[in-house]
Amino acid sequence: MILFFAWTDIQLINCVNTKCNYYKTESADLLLYNCVRVSERLVEIIRRKKIFSNIYTIEVPDLYKENKKTGISKIFLFLNRFKQRKYFLEEINHIFTKKKYEIFIVAAFWSETLNIFRCLRKYNKEIFIEIVEEGMANYDGSKNWIFRTAPASNIESIIRGLFYCRNLGITAKRRVRCFYLYRQEISWTHLSDKVHKLPVVSKKNNPVLYEIFEAWHEITDDSLYRKSKYIFIADAPCYKKNSQDILKDLIKVTPQIIKENSIIKLHPLYSTYIKENVALSEEKMWIDSREAPIETILFQCDMDHKVLIINRSSSLLYVKCMLDKEPYVVLTYKIQPHYEKEEKERFDYFVTKLKGVFENPNKIIIPGTLEDFQIVLKTIDRNITL
Confidence band (pLDDT; 50, 70, 90) for 68?
very low
Instruction: Say what percent of the chain tops pLDDT 90.
Output: 56
Picking from 61-65, 152-156, 288-292, which range would have the lowest pLDDT averaged per residue? Answer: 61-65
What percentage of the chain reaches a pLDDT higher than 70? 88
Return d(Cα 20, Cα 311) in angstroms, integer: 32
Q: What share of the chain is helix, strand, coil (3-state, %, to 5)?
A: 40, 15, 40
Digit-coded pLDDT (tens) for 189-242: 887 889 999 999 999 999 999 999 999 999 999 999 999 999 999 887 764 544
Residue 62 confidence (pLDDT) above 70: no
- Condensed to tens digits (0 to 9), the pLDDT of residues 325-384 reads 999 999 998 887 666 777 778 888 999 999 999 999 999 999 999 999 999 999 998 887
pLDDT given for residue 79 in this prediction: 61
In this prediction, residue 159 carries a pLDDT of 73
Looking at residue 241, its pLDDT comes to: 45
Q: What is the mean pLDDT of residues 74-78?
A: 54
For residue 245, the surrounding DSSP H or E stretch is helix 245-253
* pLDDT grade for 316, boundaries at 50, 70 and 90: confident
pTM assigned to the model: 0.89
**HEC sequence for 166-191:** CCCHHHHHHCEEEEEECCHHHCCCCC
